[in-house]
Structure formats: C-alpha cells, structure tokens
Amino acid sequence: MHFFRRFFDNDTVQVEGDTTTTVVRALAMVAMPGLLVAFFLQNQYPRRDQAGRWEDEYFFVLLTFLVMGLATMFEWEMLFPDRADFLVLTPLPLRHGRVLAAKAGALCCFLGLFLTAACLPGALLYPLIAKGPVFQQVLAHAVATGLAGVFLSAALVTIGGLLRCILRDGPFRRMIAVLRMLVTGGLVLLVVQYARYTESLHLLLSHPAQARWLPPLWFLALYEGILHGSAAPAFSGELVRWALWGTGAAMTLALVTYPGAWARMQRMVLEGNARRRKAPTLFLSRGVRALVREPQERAMFYFVGQTMRRIDRYQIYLAMYGGTGLALALACGVVLRSETGLPQLSTFGMHAVFALLCFWVVAGLRTALASPESLGARWVFRIAGSDDRHLAAAGKRWASVAWVGLLCSSVAAFSASGWGARSLLVQAIGGGCLAVFFTDCFFYVRAAPLIQPRMPGRSNFALFLTLYLGVLTPFLFGIAYVESRMERNLWLLIPLVLITVLLHAAVRDMEQRPMEVEEEMEGYDGEFQLLNLR
C-alpha cells in the first residue's frame, strides 16, 4: 500500500487522505474519451463502411496506447524505489524479495487501473453500437487495446531499466529527460496523424511495409484478426505477428531488466554518491550577475536552477510541455504530399513554428515553477526578508533565458532551410515581441517560484481547455498570416514593436505596485513549523 500511494502523492495532493480522490479523478479523466466517442458513434452504425470501422477501432487502440504511455512516463521516476525508500526499508527486517515483489505489485496495480479505465468503456459500449457479433467483438476489443497498452508500458519500463543499469545517476537523469520529451512528442504526433490523416488510413494499411513502423497499427490488425478470423483483411497477417512478438519481447525484457535496475539502485544508495556539486564557472557567474542584478532575485534564480535540476517532477513538466510543442511545431511545419506520401516543408506553417515552441516552453516553465514541491525552503526567503516581487521576477528571468535560446536556435534552423534575410528579420523581431507577450501573460501572477503554496479553488480546467484549444489555434493562424504580410512590408514591424513595448511597460508598472495579501492566504500558517503551545 505504501508503494501504491507513492504513485499519487505529488504536488497535487496537499491534504492527507486525498489519494483516493486523486485516483478516482485520474481514472475518470482516462475513461471519459472512450465514453464520449462511443456516445457520438451510435448514430453512425450500422451504416458505417469498413474504412470507417477501421478508423473507430484505431481510435480506441490509440487511446489506450496514449493513456498507458503518458501514465508510465509521468511516473517514470516512481517505477523504481527512490533513495528514501531504500534508506527507510533496508534497515527493517524485510526480505529483499518481499520488498521487490511489493514494489512490482504496486506498479502492476497502478498500470492495471489505468489500463482497465482506458479499455473498459469501449469494450462494453462499442460492440453494442457496432451491431456485430457482440461476444467476439468484446474479446477483440479487450485483447487488442489491452495488449497495446501493455506493449508501450513494458517497453518504457524496459528502457528505464536498461538505462538505470548501464548509466550513472547524472547521465541517467539527463537521458531520461530527453527520452521523456521524445516519447511525449511521438505520442502527440500520433494524435496529430490520426486527426489529419485518419481518412487515408486504408491507404496506409494497404502498404504493410510502411504500416509496421506505427505500433498502434499492429494492434488494429490484431483487432481485425480476432474479429474476422480467416476473413480478416490482407494487412492483418504480417502486422499481427509484429503485435504478438513485440508485446512478448517487451514484457520479457521488462521482467529481466527490472530486478537488475532494482539491485543497481540499491547499491548506489548504500554506497552513497561521491559526486560533488560543481560551483558555477566564472563565465556563468558573471553572466548571471549581469542578467540578474538584484541580489534577492539572483538568489531565487540560482535556487530555481538547482531545484529543477535535482527534482524529477519539474523535469517531467518541462519534458512533456517541450515534447508537445516540438511535435505540434513539426506537424505544423511539415506536411505529407498526397501524391507520393513524402514529407515536405510548409511555407505557411513554418511561420507558426516558433510561436508554438515558445508558447509551450513558457507554459511549461510556468507550470513547473507554480508547483509547490519545495515548500520546505520557503522559510529561508522569509527570514531573509525577501520581497515577493523580486522572487517572482526570477521565474520571469528563467522564461526570458529559455525563449532567447529558443529564438536563436529557430532563426539558425530557418536560415539553414534557405530562408531569406527579410524572412529571418521578421522572424527574429516578431518572434521576440511574441515571446515577450507570452512571458508577460504567463508570469503576470506575482507568485514566488517553487515555494508558493497551492491554495484550493484556483484550478479551472474549462479555462485551460479554452486557452489551449479554442484560443491558441486561431491565434497561431493569425500569427502566420501577419508574419507573411510583414515579409512583404517591413514597415509593419514598427507598430508591432511599439505595441509590445507599451504593453510590457504597463505590465512592469503593475508588477511594481505593492502586493496585497489575498483572502485565501490570510491565516495560512504552513510557512513555519510551530509548536502550537497554549
């Protein structure tokens, strides 16, 4: 039970006993897409053609694939016991195999809950809607979607175990951060591929040599093979073998590598970490001092950098947001030619690439810095008499450093792809103005990074959906259109720069005003440890 609770004890759980609520909420969010899609499909049957049925079956397979990939990746650092687990449990009179079995059982229960929540609604409702042989379709649906989730979870556990066995702690953490971003980007690309090219799914399935590079299609073939047997489509034969062999290999490797990674981590904890933290170089120290002149702000700037490097939870947020932005930028800038199926650059879509990357990187930094995972360090800044305005400004500095590096990389990439001087100038100036606007919007709330308690009632899921789905998409189309106009008339850059300067000055003026104590914070005594003596 201890190991199972650890999967859900993160910064979203602030009150003891909320683990059950968090579990139910997470499982409900996982089950909701299957229920909604099954509800909307009921008017399509039994008139749905064969290509449409493949699209519907592929959706349920892809849903389970995404859910299990995100669940496994989000809790990647909890797949194996951490330092606290070993230090607490090793001195106790517990057999090594019993602790290993408990952790493995908790991991299986955690993944099994999400797998059941993702598969069960579709397995119960879709066969009734499809008007086919109910029992056979329930079996096909459960097996195909279940094995899709098992395959990806086992593959990610295998990758984590192998990296833990062969890498030291520092390189392992850096490699895992990169892999998280790549896995997130790959999953988002699968969603984009389904949304944009799902009507051409039958054309892709007619070429099994190309379809085998998309693992979700393996399990769609397995779905059709179980459902129709010998009358299954021609693509089922080869792809079904890939599904069965791939799942079996992933599960075998996961079972083999998990105990080895466990032993490796236990030895590292018991032997200790002899690596010392290196002091910042003279060049870095002078650069930070030139960038951040206020001592209180500079202290928070260093604190943010060291904390985000040390705690995996922040790296997860950055990797997931960065991977999402990278995948959407790639999908926006690269399109497939309908004649040959080969990728090519989209001139219009390339104008929205930096806007997408900047939005998701700045939003990811804001989400990470707003996570109260380091409340224990709050008292240091309070005792030192730090002004919250200076502490909040450090988060804005980190966002500025991120988008400046991103802008330089984007301009270099556009230059390498053959863009002219006018286009590069518009991209540099327009991208800088856009990045300043994003930074002012996301970091307008003056909250100290990492050490600000999360007060109840502040999260608004409907507002987030409206921002990320309803506002961002038309905004990006507008950005691409405006940049195209600016390339033909460079004088349009002047009003853009003036508007950005005025808005930024107005935001700076509001930030310099004295901060008022909010009603929710009045009476909050979680900042210092008190004896409560009367």
pLDDT mean over 312-318: 83
Percent of the chain scoring above 70 in pLDDT:
82
Determine the pLDDT at residue 533: 47
Backbone angles phi, psi at 293, to 5 degrees: -90, -30
Percent of the chain scoring above 90 in pLDDT:
19
Determine the pLDDT at residue 253: 93
- pLDDT(275) > 70: no
Q: How large is the greatest C-alpha to C-alpha distance in the chain, in angstroms?
A: 81
Q: What ranges do the domains of the chain cover?
A: 2-271, 294-512
Determine the pLDDT at residue 97: 73
User: Between 63 and 276, whose confidence is greater?
Assistant: 63
Determine the pLDDT at residue 11: 47
- C-beta separation of 77 from 51 below 8 A: no
Burial label, 191 (beta-carbon count in 10 A; 0-12, 13-18, 19+)? middle
Tokens for 330, please give them.
């790639």
HEC-encoded secondary structure of 130-151: HCCCHHHHHHHHHHHHHHHHHH
User: Between 278 and 470, whose confidence is greater?
Assistant: 470
Determine the pLDDT at residue 14: 42
User: Between 92 and 141, whose confidence is greater?
Assistant: 141
Determine the pLDDT at residue 17: 44
Taking only the tens place, the pLDDT of each residue in 79-105 is 666 666 766 776 777 776 777 777 778
Determine the pLDDT at residue 212: 84
Taking only the tens place, the pLDDT of each residue in 482-510 is 888 888 888 989 999 999 999 999 988 88
- pLDDT(204) > 70: yes
Determine the pLDDT at residue 459: 54
pLDDT mean over 353-357: 89
pLDDT mean over 213-225: 91
Determine the pLDDT at residue 521: 45
pLDDT class for 465, splitting at 50, 70, 90?
A: low
Taking only the tens place, the pLDDT of each residue in 432-461 is 999 999 998 888 876 778 777 665 545 555
pLDDT mean over 38-55: 85
- pLDDT(132) > 70: yes
Q: Where is average pLDDT lowest: 142-146, 250-254, 514-518?
A: 514-518
Task: Give which of 434, 515, 421, 504 is closest to 475, Cα–Cα.
Answer: 434
Taking only the tens place, the pLDDT of each residue in 14-38 is 444 455 666 777 788 888 888 888 8
- The region, left, alpha or beta by phi > 0 then psi within -120 to 50, assigned to residue 345 is beta
Task: Give which of 134, 125, 148 is closest to 58, Cα–Cα.
Answer: 148
- pLDDT(516) > 60: no
Determine the pLDDT at residue 269: 65
Q: Are strands 343-345 and 334-336 parallel, antiparallel or unpaired?
A: antiparallel
Instruction: Name the strand (E) or helix (H) holding 460.
Output: none
- pLDDT(395) > 90: no
Instruction: Name the strand (E) or helix (H) holding 334.
Output: strand 334-336
d(CA 360, CA 369) in angstroms, rounded, equals 14
Neighbouring C-beta atoms of residue 472, cutoff 10 Å: 17
User: Between 399 and 334, whose confidence is greater?
Assistant: 399
